[in-house]
Structure 1
Amino acid sequence: MPQHSPATDLLGNPLSLTDSTSWRLVDDFVGGFIACEARAANLALTPHFDPDPLVQAYCATLQMFAESADAVANARPFIQRAQAGAAQATPRERRYIAAVAAWVAGDIREAIRLHEEQAREFPRDLVSLKLGQYHCFNLGDCPGMLRLALAAAPHAADVPYLHGMLAFGYEQCHLMREAETSARRAIAMERKDPWAHHALAHVMLTEGRLTEGLAFMEDVSETWIGLNSFMVTHNWWHLALFLIDLGRDDEALAVYDRHCWGVVKDYSQDQIGAVSLLA
């Protein structure tokens, strides 16, 4: 991706930010979010307050991704501040704020509608795109996942993580050749793209390419550093599935012990992965 000016995020989207510390934290959020990296959370973990509406909306996003019983209550003050200051935001930022507000309010279909609008009007807002895909996945709307990524594809082909998002959308729609092509394109551009690894693992497992899939995941596993807990445990989970299907149960259990359980024990996604692997 090219160097960006202080007036834009690292994907070239104009920003309303005025706080210099927030520039760095927003870059961490945007870059970390689309790459499934833990640095996305720096925005919430750094003791720095900025009332900027986009910063507040991104903080609300992080609170909601906790997927905990109190996630909505924790996110609400952030999204309320974002809405209160939305008049100073750019049109892209205002739509993102509205989409997160719909999520906090429990109106997931409205959130998806807004993310789809965003993908058409501001196709390089890949944070919005990835969040929209998350909602579509949770509703079982596989065509929606793909539709979001396809809208951005002509405008963000230089971003490797876009191709990973495309790959998983294709795979969920059972378009395996397109999925593999997109995943391999992402990996050729950025070897450390865990979402593309994940999509290709889906393809190989679906097609029964067990030995090849295991070798691939073992090869790229060295790049699974600095990821959020879901992504790192989930990719090791996929590696363990290949081992199980190959009859190598003891090795799969060792992967479980070392990599799939214990990263963030109170996170629901990590819990689900660990329990399902033992089932």
Structure 2
Amino acid sequence: MGGSEEATTRRDRWGYPVRTASGACIDAIDAYCEQVLAYGRGRAVILRAANYDPSCALANALAAHFVATKNPEEAHRLLRAANASLDNATPYERAVVAAISCLLGDDKDEEMALGRHVELLKEFPKDLLSLKRVQILCFYLGRPAVSLSIVQQVLIHNEDHSYIYGMLSFPLLELGRMTEAEGAARKGLFINSCDIWSQHNLCHVLQNECRFREATSFMEACASSWNSCSSFMYAILDFNSGSTRFLLCFAMFLFKIFFRYTHNWWHVAVCYLEGDSPLNKVLEIYDQSIWKELQRSDAEPVEVYINALGLLLRIHLRGHTHDIAERLKFQATALKDKSVWHVEWLLDILALWALTCTNERNEAEGLLDSIKSRFSTLSSQKQQSMRAAIQLAQAMYEYGRGNLAKVFDLLGPDFDAANFKMIGASDEQLDVFNEVWYISLLNIGQVPKAIEVMKKQVCKRQGAPFLWRLLEKAYSMEGMPDALLAGEKAKTLEAAYFR
């Protein structure tokens, strides 16, 4: 770039200096930030920034971050270009490049990445794009308290931005502080009613508190703002090596945005399942607002599959196996594509169930063997962290085969899906595995144990009709008079929610 230092320094949307002579470059960087924070489909705009000014360190680093999933070689080229421009970069750009390099470079280190992002935000607290990266990093490291402290650290500098309140709400959710999480989400929505992340987090609160009717009304009212929303924002990994491809749940990723178009509709469908709503209404959401997303040219199949399978498993557990048989076969056929294996722990675990229960045994065995093989390449420390995930994967394989006694043997008597966040799933996504557990207990004759664990769970979520239905069944199996009361409770809740 030519010209003086002053002439080639511009300010990005956060007000921080970026070394570029191209106004189009800085505009593209700003547009990318907006697309990421708004969960938009136009994130590829960052590639234009790098083209407008190939010597801009920030543009190259962000572009590298964006393309790493699908084009690791290009990501490395862009990161090299970013590092080659550091002598002429601003301190802000150097901090961003250093943080991203920990996630993309040859010496990936999630702990170092977390530390560098924390230091970056101390000096540059208005950079909400970097805050989003560090939040998702904390999510996969299982550190919601750290995530919350970082948001609180920068909050005073960003009080006029709706996005900060959605990011405040999320770790509060993870920490079980629902009242505060709801307040933060509503504050974000007061500033911007179309703030997707705040919408999503508020739905989590309503769903967690069994306010299902309120949740569906709220989300359906918001649905018109979802059309520009991505179905998935990339989990960035070096997928070339077998050992690193499977490190998503250890946060050897760069940037997964935990909100999607299909995921919003998944929330709505799950809420309808809790009430006495016609199954056709749930299946319509599946067909038109989840599976149909695959018809879009920019759809991300992995995320569509996660939401589709998570919904089908819930329907299956409620006894509607015939109604979803054809849909599940379509899913199983799609899951034979090995390119979607090992991108997400949650998808692998759900896929094992789908493949086995549709008699795609060879593919299911191949997937399970591949999971175990990749697990063996991890460090002993990481194996210890993820051993439970392997047990859950094996259990879902056996559940799909109908071997429920083996499910019990694998998960043990004290299973609680809430302890399995290492697979990269929310409480609501994990809860289906508790349902698998309860039904397995009932079907293998462990009825007293089932009653014990379900009574504990219903104390936490007294407004969940399906839990009461399962308790009704368990009490009936034991000939207990409590069955009548549980059934009446379930019926009252179902009618109250959606009639």
Whether these two folds match at TM > 0.5 is yes
Q: Does residue 19 of structure 2 align to residue 22 of structure 1? A: no
Q: CA deviation at 1:245?
A: 1.9
Provide the C-alpha distance between the structure 1 equivalents of 2:165 and 2:268, rounded to a whole number of angstroms.
21
Structure 2 counterpart SS, 1:197: helix
Closer/same/farther in 2, CA of residues 94 and 269 from structure 1, 3 Å limit: farther
The aligned residue for residue 83 of structure 1 is 83
Task: Provide TM-score, normalisation by structure 1.
Answer: 0.89
**Within 5 A, what are the aligned runs for 1:104-253?**
104-105=104-105, 106-230=108-232, 231-248=260-277, 249-253=279-283
Closer/same/farther in 2, CA of residues 267 and 112 from structure 1, 3 Å limit: farther
The aligned residue for residue 62 of structure 2 is 58
Q: CA deviation at 1:232?
A: 1.5
Q: Does residue 262 of structure 2 align to residue 259 of structure 1? A: no
Provide the C-alpha distance between the structure 1 equivalents of 2:134 and 2:301, rounded to a whole number of angstroms.
21
Provide the C-alpha distance between the structure 2 equivalents of 1:160 and 1:228, rounded to a whole number of angstroms.
19
Amino acid in the other structure paired with 1:235: N
Amino acid in the other structure paired with 1:196: S
The aligned residue for residue 448 of structure 2 is none
The aligned residue for residue 274 of structure 1 is 308
User: Comparing both chains, which one has the higher relative contact order based on Cα–Cα distances under 8 Å and sequence gaps of 6 or more?
Assistant: 1
| Aligned pairs, number | 270
Deviations 1:193-239 (A, max 9, x none): 01001111111111111111111101111111322222212212222
The aligned residue for residue 103 of structure 1 is 103
Structure 1: runs of 5 or more not aligned: 1-5
Q: CA deviation at 1:61?
A: 1.6
Provide the C-alpha distance between the structure 2 equivalents of 1:149 and 1:32, rounded to a whole number of angstroms.
20
Contact 1:237 1:273 in 2 (8 A): yes
Moved more, 23-32 or 70-79: 70-79
Provide the C-alpha distance between the structure 1 equivalents of 2:301 and 2:14, rounded to a whole number of angstroms.
29
Amino acid in the other structure paired with 1:107: D
Larger Rg: 2
Task: Provide TM-score, normalisation by structure 2.
Answer: 0.51
Provide the C-alpha distance between the structure 2 equivalents of 1:191 and 1:42, rounded to a whole number of angstroms.
25
Moved more, 7-16 or 94-103: 7-16
Amino acid in the other structure paired with 1:163: Y
Closer/same/farther in 2, CA of residues 133 and 183 from structure 1, 3 Å limit: same
Moved more, 240-249 or 113-122: 240-249
Provide the C-alpha distance between the structure 1 equivalents of 2:50 and 2:98, rounded to a whole number of angstroms.
26
The runs of 4+ residues in structure 1 deviating greater than 6 Å are none
